[in-house]
Amino acid sequence: MMRINKKREIIKSEFLKYLKDVYNLSLYLTRNVEDAKDLTQDTFARALEYIDSYTPNTNAKAYLFRIATTIFFNNQSRLNTEQNHLEFRAFNEDDGSEVIGRDLNLIEDEEEKFIREYSSREVERLLLNLSFEHRTILILADIEEFSYEEISKILNIPIGTVMSRLSRARSALKKELLKREEIIRRETGGENIIRLSKYDLSKAK
């Protein structure tokens, strides 16, 4: 009994380490603070409920992400609707993290320049405009940098689906980026620092 208790304590502290990650994933899934709080709460409650099915030190983050996405997808299919109110960034307004690339040590290559042209707020908005399947897989692959195998376990889909969904998600985001570039091009009369269109496949024949 003492050993079971100790094991549970270890798992609990392992889970709690990822509170921030689960909350942020929830933010991008639900796209508003209140629902993200609920989803995070539900995820940790469910993880606690089934605590005995988790083996310590077996990627708690992926385990929690799996619970969070499962709860979200289940609610999603039940409601069969996506809320469209984007209350994102009601948080983090003034912490200066909006503009990326202030760090002078950044390598001044082309890609860095490109990236610096976007504020994190802008990228966030583009990401949040994608379908929940696309934004989920982009968070898992590009922000969390999980392997395809891990993503396949988290989302409970085959690796082939991970690949195709990720490829489509990036295309979708690219499309949004190109759209934004187009708008800026029109607004500024053409000459500016737009980069992605240079690499766009349709134009790079």
Which residue from 72, 68, 49, 77 is spatially nearest to 154, judged by alpha carbons? 68
Applying CB under 8 A, which of residues 87, 100, 132, 180 lies at the interface with other proteins? 100
46 interacts with other proteins by CB under 8 A: no
Residue among 195, 196, 135 at smallest CA distance from 168:
135
CA gap 34, 26 in Å, rounded: 10
DSSP assignment of 123-163: HHHHHHHS-HHHHHHHIIIIIS---HHHHHHHHT--HHHHH
Category of 32 on φ-ψ map: left (φ > 0), alpha (ψ -120 to 50) or beta: beta
Q: Please list, in sequence order, all residues whose beta carbon lies within 8 angstroms of the beta carbon of residue 30, skipping any fewer than 6 positions away.
A: 36, 38, 39, 72, 83
Select the residue interacting with other proteins from 59, 87, 152, 174 (CB under 8 A).
Answer: 174
Q: Please tell me whether residue 127 binds other proteins under the rule CB under 8 A.
A: yes
Nearest distance from C-beta of residue 148 to other proteins, angstroms: 5
> How far is Cα 5 from Cα 203, in angstroms, rounded to an integer?
61
Q: Is 132 near other proteins (CB under 8 A)? A: no
- Of 35-43, 54-62, 75-83, 182-190: span binding other proteins (CB under 8 A): 35-43
Residues in contact with other proteins, counted by CB under 8 A, come to a total of 57
| Binding residue for other proteins, selected from 3, 78, 81, 111, defined by CB under 8 A | 111
Closest distance of CB 67 from other proteins, Å? 13
DSSP H helices in the chain: 2-16, 19-30, 33-49, 60-79, 110-116, 120-129, 132-138, 148-155, 159-188, 196-199
- Supply 163's token pair: 């690949």
Of positions 55, 83, 92, 188, contacts other proteins by CB under 8 A: 92
35 forms part of the interface with other proteins (CB under 8 A): no
14 belongs to the binding site for other proteins (CB under 8 A): no
**Binding of other proteins by 24 (CB under 8 A):** yes
> Which parts of this chain interact with other proteins (CB under 8 A)?
1, 5, 9, 12, 15-16, 19-21, 23-24, 27, 33, 37, 40-41, 44-45, 48, 91-92, 97, 100-101, 111, 114-115, 118-120, 122-124, 127, 138-139, 141-143, 145, 147-148, 163, 166-167, 170, 173-174, 177, 195-196, 198-201, 204-205
